[in-house]
Amino acid sequence: MQEQRAYLLQNGRPVLASPISSGRYGHLTKTGSFTVLDKERSHYSSMYGKIVDANGNTVVADADADMQVPRGGKFIPAPMNYFMRFNGGDGMHAGYLPGYPASHGCVRMPQQYAIAFFNAVQVGTPVTVFGRTPVNRYYSGQPQQGFPRRPRFGPFMGQGFPPPPPPGWWR
């Protein structure tokens, strides 16, 4: 997790590397050996999302499902597309990468990489989470070198990473 990267291995060799955003302090991604427990292409969190008012304006961007919702407003669960659950409610999925550990325990990756991982693994595929969450990078508030703050989704291009797979290769 120090590198904030996930690797897809075939026959013990890395075939794809993706930038990630793992669990932040207070919601660390658990380390250990796991397996993919299930996969869901269009998954939504049952615990985290945002709260909007009656006009659809975001009131709380990082909300828990048990937070009070204003009259006429609603809780909108966070999308977790290409979800590959590996430990309790934690899994790998497409999501926002701010450049530091920021999730509630899941492993977020750019959508194009999440699709590639999703289509390459099966239920039962081994998942190993190792390392320590980077402290200095998290507390600095600065993005890690090579990690863009925007766009929120899309392919990652940067030093040390191969170009993303071409669209459609996973079909």
Residue 29 lies in a domain: yes
What are the tens digits of pLDDT across the range 65-112?
999 999 999 999 999 999 999 999 999 999 999 999 999 999 999 999
Beta-bridge partners for 146: none
What are the tens digits of pLDDT across the range 23-48?
999 999 999 999 999 999 999 999 99
- pTM score of the predicted model: 0.77
The Cβ-side half-sphere exposure at 18, using a 13 Å CA radius, reads 30
Degrees (nearest 5) of the Cα angle 119, 121, 123?
A: 120
Least confident of 7-16, 30-39, 127-136: 127-136
Residue 69 lies in a domain: no
What are the tens digits of pLDDT across the range 43-62?
999 999 999 999 999 999 99
| pLDDT at residue 163, as a whole number | 55
Per-residue confidence band for 139, with pLDDT thresholds at 50, 70 and 90: very low
Tokens of 97: 């990468």
Residue 10 lies in a domain: yes
Residue 64 lies in a domain: no
Rounded distance, CA 43 to CA 47, Å? 12
Contact at 8 Å (CB) between 157 and 58? no
Residue 12 lies in a domain: yes
What is the 8-class DSSP label of residue 143?
P
Ranges of H-type helices in the chain = 111-120, 135-140
pLDDT at residue 164 is higher than 50: yes
Q: Which domain holds residue 86?
A: 5-43+80-140
Phi-psi region of 141 (alpha: psi -120 to 50; beta: other; left: phi over 0): left
Per-residue confidence band for 134, with pLDDT thresholds at 50, 70 and 90: confident
**Closest C-alpha to 16, from 168, 154, 133, 156:** 156
Per-residue confidence band for 165, with pLDDT thresholds at 50, 70 and 90: low
Q: How many domains does the chain have?
A: 1
Domain CATH for 97:
2.40.440.10
Rounded distance, CA 81 to CA 112, Å? 11
Rounded distance, CA 65 to CA 80, Å? 15
